Amino acid sequence: MSLDRDTVRKIAFLSRIEVADEKLEPLAGQLSGILDWFEQLKEVDTDGVQPMSSVTDAVLRWRDDVITDGGIPEKILANAPEAMDGFFTVPKVVE
Amino acid sequence: MSYIIKGETGDWELVIGLEVHAQVISNAKLFSGAATAFGADANTQVSFVDAGFPGMLPTINSVCVEQAVRTGLGLKAKINKRSVFARKNYFYADLPQGYQISQFDLPIVGEGEIILDLPDGTSRTVGIERLHLEQDAGKSVHDQHPSKSFIDLNRSGVALMEIVSKPDMRTPEEAGAYLRKLRAILRYLETCDGNMDEGSMRCDVNVSVRKAGEPYRTRCEIKNVNSVRFVMQAIEIEAKRHVEVYESGGDIVQETRLFDPNRGETRSMRSKEHAHDYRYFPDPDLLPLEFDDAFVEAIRVTLPELPDEKKARFVETYGMTGYDAGVLVMEKETAAYFEEAAKGRDGKQVANWLITTLFGGLNKKGLSITESPISPAQLGQLVDLVNDNTISGRLAKDVFEIMLEEGKDPAVIVEERGMKQVTDTGAIEAACDAVIAANPDKAQDVRDGKEKLIAWFIGQVMKATQGKANPGMLQEILKKKLLG
Amino acid sequence: MTSLLDLSLAEARDGLRAKEFTAVELTDAYLGMVEKHRDLNAYITETPDLAREQAKAADAALAAGTAGAMAGIPVGIKDLFCTEGVLTTAASHILDGFKPPYESTVSANLKKAGAVMLGKLNLDEFAMGGSNQTSYYGPAKNPWKAEGSDVDLVPGGSSGGSAAAVSARMALAATGTDTGGSIRQPAAYCGITGIKPTYGRCSRFGIIAYASSLDQAGPMTRTVRDAAIMLGSMAGFDPKDSTSADVALPDFEAALTGDIRGLKVGIPQEYRPEGLDPEINALWDKGIDMLKAAGAEVVDISLPHTKYALATYYIIAPAEASSNLARYDGLRFGLRVEGKTLDEMYAKTRAAGFGEEVQRRILMGTYVLSAGYYDAYYLKAQRVRARIAEDFRNAFKTVDVILTPTAPTPAFGIGANMDDPIAMYLNDVFTVPTSLAGLPGLSVPVGLSSTGLPLGLQLIGRPFDEETVLRAGDVLEKAAGFSAVPSLVKG
Ligand SMILES: [Mg+2]
Ligand SMILES: [Zn+2]
């Protein structure tokens, strides 16, 4: 399985990480190497095996519908790189 | 009720499916303890969980689970006792975690149905594909600053039910009826307040067209159309666009579009669509959501009588038409008003007053049924006054108008204004004699066979008695006097 | 003062209670070492004022008889735990200046038990790495050096700062987190003890997530007893973490009975791959003999899917990480690099904020989850993960605990393996399977390599049976009598 420049560009965009053009090729090579290494998993017979997404077989616990949080806008905004009038701000989004 | 677009190449049929996001009624958010109330100051109803802070983890609100199951039961749907939360990954300014916790493969509710009551009295069943629980995003405000968008996370993490219909609708009217019916069911269940203005019910519309007998063609999704009227307009406009594209030899590409009601068009949102790949996978911060039959049954026994059942009962109990019953049950407050007013009375008659007179009156004043100045008991009393001949039907309309303004009991109004019907035979006879005496020519015409003129005499006597003469008695007496 | 630094956590606790010295004295001794060995780069942030304040409070509690289990014990906190009002970085540039307005459950538990926080410890960026070389704040250094060499060695990772600090007496104990071996491997490299408890034993609330289905906090200490004591204060059910296990919290220290007679110890043949360092092999045999001598019964077992664990891990962990790290977007906290558009701001911020290895894992994780590849990679890895977990379940039908080496080599030089990711990933080969299965794993220092570097053995237990693991580890530790310390501690 090998990965080309365009695929790296695409996943870089999906990941919102700017990758310089000259870095696409070396990254494609590195990631392809890792993908090749993953090929070994094909040897494992997993027919009928349920995918394991959690180590426990416990189920979700539920909490009560009670307001226990919020009311802390100054703490929510305290670490913001930029904020105005109680809002976070970002470059204007054109829809 | 067929809706066909007549194209140059033939008739086109519409295929419509709706995805409704309904905000769950709960005190706290789906995965955090912050409040859900509408209209609070920016970022005041936000926990670190909702704001996607490092190390924060979701825990699920039991009431949101109950509400989803309750809604599923109301939609006669399959309840999945095991469901799984998945992350839908994408970047957006109002999505703090960089993913939305939603359900993908295994939603909490499976297939169900909604019965539509159409204006021509027929009904039609629309399939529900699924209902899943998910978190809402925050809100971006784009018009506060020339170069910045403002982000308010109050809504971030509020529980939504995404209710997806099957592509079973064929006309804009059906889509409208679907939305109104779904809203009614949600409001009966008290799982969503159905308020489209405040965004607690939002609608995405899937539209495609096809010729008779064809399989489905490519559909487009129109995002966030937020009133029933706009949904119907958007469908019409989008379907016409499809037909035009096909008939000019083009092809429709599957995409997300935006409805612009001002310009009466839909347009592509390709910018937002760009290279989307949501990479759904089970949320490792949450375990599978499971419950047993007993949990479902405990909710089932608390279900209220729903619109369809109520409608059937109204038809059965009061002998009214299906259409009238359908109108009365659309809002549970109206149905409750009606039942209160109809207590011990002729339901059909009360329904008639309610639908033709009260609705009109409230509408004029811009009031809802719960704000009606006329109480259900008062409306019932008015009907009683007509039935026991205290006032005539004609005067009753006047009494009603006064009730609407003053909110007084009808009996008080009739008393105060001396509007009691005259049922004294002598008095009516005297009035009749006076009118006949004053109009000998016309009286002769009646006797000569112009019986239609009797109505004119009735009008004259009514005028003379200020409308208080009992109409039945008046007619009888006049006939006897003129025709012998 | 040197004598204070030589005390184990258990001894310090007892000495504090016996009023032989004060928490302030103990804390000052450690603060001295923190200052003295800054060149090791073990700490990202030092909090001496806070430490002294907490030490005073501990002394007051000790005097009042209200002291908790960790009262007055100076600990370092891995900088992956959010600490209220104290800079928390995950060793990443992207969390520049981030001061959480909240506290992680584990660090809050330690605080409640009276522990004194000396500062925030260095790590691999977002815990992604096995050598502490991916830290934005530069690598932490291993206090150990090979005999006759002056080359700086890695402390292991990702809890490299924690291991280095405990080893160099810059903390009496430290918290670590372990996703694929990040407590056990650095413990082995630095000659200390570390346990990754069962997944769900310690709350993940407030710990910056790397891979949620694997991340687990644990103690890093000088002795097994110390680990038992500290784990008792860190662990416990937390309703704020949906994956936290609602199970009883045993008295781990009481489990150290010294008696392992009849205990069945499994030796998995797959952990002796061809080409395994003969020194590691020999150490393992020595460990087997020690447990046998103590009355344990040694049983050969098979964990057939072991060799697939690394590839499985390097699909699952990056997949989860790619999503977990999406929240670092320059909007609500940390670094922002301005852009003309929102997308440009994201891309520039994340390119500048994340280091190379983190970017690599995000890209890889994004890829294995993307349309068309999900089944072949992510879903396949989850199925193989199920088989690996099944291997352990089968093994634990016949054995009570499993003994393996912790790492395939001793600590290596800083700078090695940096441009070969797969070679770097191989350091986790013995620790990753346990993580995938969510089982408790303990690393105990057992001997020295021919070059004088510490080597550890790993004990793996059944879910929520840390007691057996600790009991066997305590016996192994005593039998091994590992007493070597880095020369900088001696001098
Ligand atoms: Mg949708
Ligand atoms: Zn949705």
Give percent of chain A with pLDDT exceeding 90: 91
Mutation to test the C interface, candidates A16, A53, A59, A79, most C Cβ within 10 Å: A16
In this structure, are residues C365 and C110 in contact, taking their beta carbons and an 8 Å threshold? Answer: no
CA distance A44 to chain B (A): 22
What is residue A95's predicted lDDT score, i.e. its pLDDT? 58
Report how far ligand 1's centroid is from the alpha carbon of B179 (Å).
Answer: 16
Helices marked H in B75-217: 172-189
In this structure, are residues C170 and C160 in contact, taking their beta carbons and an 8 Å threshold? Answer: no
In a domain, A58, yes or no: no
In this structure, are residues B222 and B207 in contact, taking their beta carbons and an 8 Å threshold? Answer: yes
What's the predicted TM-score (pTM) here?
A: 0.93
E runs forming strands in A1-95: 62-63, 83-84, 87-91
**Alpha carbons within 13 A on the beta-carbon side of B55:** 30
pLDDT tens digits, B441-469? 988 998 888 888 888 999 998 888 888 88
pLDDT tens digits, B250-306? 999 999 999 999 999 999 986 544 568 999 999 999 999 999 999 999 999 999 999
Query: CA B357, CA B418: separation in Å to the nearest integer?
Result: 23
What is residue B417's predicted lDDT score, i.e. its pLDDT? 85
Give percent of chain C with pLDDT exceeding 70: 99
Using CA of residue B290, residue B295, residue B301, residue B304, what is the dihedral sign?
negative
Answer yes or no: do B271 and A84 touch at CB < 8 A. Answer: no
Q: Which residues, in sequence order, are CB contacts of C172 under 8 Å at separation 6+?
A: C7, C9, C12, C26, C30, C73, C74, C75, C166, C221, C222, C226
- The answer on pLDDT for A1 being more than 60 is no
Give percent of chain C with pLDDT exceeding 90: 95
Average pLDDT of span C303-323: 98
What is the set of active-site residues of C?
78, 158, 182
What is residue B337's predicted lDDT score, i.e. its pLDDT? 97
Indicate left, alpha or beta for C132 from its phi (over 0: left) and psi (-120 to 50: alpha): left
CA distance C36 to chain A (A): 32
Give percent of chain B with pLDDT exceeding 70: 99
Q: Which residue of C has its CA nearest to A33?
A: C422
Answer yes or no: do C370 and B285 touch at CB < 8 A. Answer: no
* CATH code of the domain in which A13 resides: 1.10.20
Answer yes or no: do A51 and C386 touch at CB < 8 A. Answer: yes
pLDDT tens digits, C424-453? 888 899 999 999 999 999 999 999 999 999
Q: Report residue A83 CA to chain centroid gap.
A: 25
In a domain, A11, yes or no: yes
Helix, strand, coil shares of chain B as percentages rounded to 5? 40, 20, 40
Query: CA B366, CA B178: separation in Å to the nearest integer?
Result: 25
Q: Does the CB of A80 have a partner CB in chain C at under 8 Å?
A: yes
In this structure, are residues C470 and C443 in contact, taking their beta carbons and an 8 Å threshold? Answer: no
Query: CA C100, CA C97: separation in Å to the nearest integer?
Result: 10
Query: Could you give all domains of chain B from N- to C-terminal order, each with its CATH number?
Result: 4-299 (no CATH), 307-416 (no CATH), 425-483 (1.10.10.410)
What is residue B270's predicted lDDT score, i.e. its pLDDT? 66
Q: Report residue B85 CA to chain centroid gap.
A: 31
How large is the greatest C-alpha to C-alpha distance in chain A, in angstroms? 58
Mean of the per-residue pLDDT values of chain C: 97
Which residues in chain C touch residue A79, judged by CB atoms under 8 angstroms apart?
Answer: 97-99, 101, 332-334
Report how far ligand 1's centroid is from the alpha carbon of A94 (Å).
Answer: 22
How long a stretch of residues is chain C? Answer: 491
- The answer on pLDDT for B428 being more than 90 is no
Q: Considering every ligand atom shown, identify the ligand nearest to the alpha carbon of residue B133 and give its number.
A: 2
Residues with CB under 5 A from ligand 1 (ion): B 19
Q: Does the CB of C348 have a partner CB in chain A at under 8 Å?
A: yes
Query: CA C31, CA C52: separation in Å to the nearest integer?
Result: 9
C-alpha dist (Å) from residue A60 to B1, B160, B291: 47, 19, 9
* Touching subunits for chain C (3+ Cβ pairs under 8 A): A, B
In a domain, A12, yes or no: yes
Domain, as residue range, for A39: 5-43
Q: Does the CB of C100 have a partner CB in chain B at under 8 Å?
A: yes
Answer yes or no: do B284 and C104 touch at CB < 8 A. Answer: no
What is residue C490's predicted lDDT score, i.e. its pLDDT? 79
Q: ipTM surpassing 0.95, yes or no?
A: yes
In a domain, A52, yes or no: no
pLDDT tens digits, B172-192? 999 999 999 999 999 999 999
What is residue C1's predicted lDDT score, i.e. its pLDDT? 43
Which of A18, A33, A91 is facing C342, going by the closest CB pair? Answer: A91
Which of B55, B99, B279 is facing C209, going by the closest CB pair? Answer: B55
Q: Which residues, in sequence order, are CB contacts of C10 under 8 Å at separation 6+?
A: C223, C225, C226, C229, C253
Query: CA C420, CA B449: separation in Å to the nearest integer?
Result: 115
Reported for C394-400, long-range contacts at CB under 8 A and 24+ positions apart, including other chains, are: C395/C266, C395/C268, C395/C301, C395/C302, C395/C303, C396/C462, C398/C264, C398/C266, C398/C299, C398/C301, C399/C264, C399/C265, C399/C266, C399/C299, C399/C301, C400/C263, C400/C264, C400/C265, C400/C461, C400/C462, C400/C465, C400/C468
In a domain, A15, yes or no: yes
pLDDT tens digits, B109-118? 999 999 998 8
B1 confidence band (pLDDT: 50, 70, 90):
low
Count up the domains in chain A and report the number.
1
Report how far ligand 1's centroid is from the alpha carbon of B21 (Å).
Answer: 8
In a domain, A24, yes or no: yes
Q: Does the CB of B80 have a partner CB in chain A at under 8 Å?
A: no
Which pair of structure tokens corresponds to residue C15? 């000495």
Which residues on neighbouring strands pair with residue B85, listed in sequence order?
A: B103
What is residue B273's predicted lDDT score, i.e. its pLDDT? 46
pLDDT tens digits, B36-76? 999 999 999 999 999 999 999 999 999 999 999 999 999 99
Query: Could you give all domains of chain C from N- to C-terminal order, each with its CATH number?
Result: 2-262+410-490 (3.90.1300.10)
Q: Does the CB of B59 have a partner CB in chain A at under 8 Å?
A: yes
Which residues in chain A touch residue C382, judged by CB atoms under 8 angstroms apart?
Answer: 51-53
In this structure, are residues C176 and C168 in contact, taking their beta carbons and an 8 Å threshold? Answer: no
Tell me if the bond preceding A15 is cis, omega within 30° of 0: no
Burial class (CB in 10 A: 0-12, 13-18, 19+), C153: buried
CA distance B286 to chain C (A): 6
One-character DSSP codes across C119-150: EEE--SGGG--SSS-S-TT-----S---TT--
In 3D space, the residue among C208, C188, C415, C388 whose CA is nearest the CA of residue C284 turns out to be: C188
pLDDT tens digits, C442-481? 999 999 999 999 999 999 999 999 999 999 999 999 999 9
The CA-based angle C215-C439-C398, given to 5 degrees, is 170
pLDDT tens digits, C144-157? 999 999 999 999 99
Q: Which residues, in sequence order, are CB contacts of B197 under 8 Å at separation 6+?
A: B226
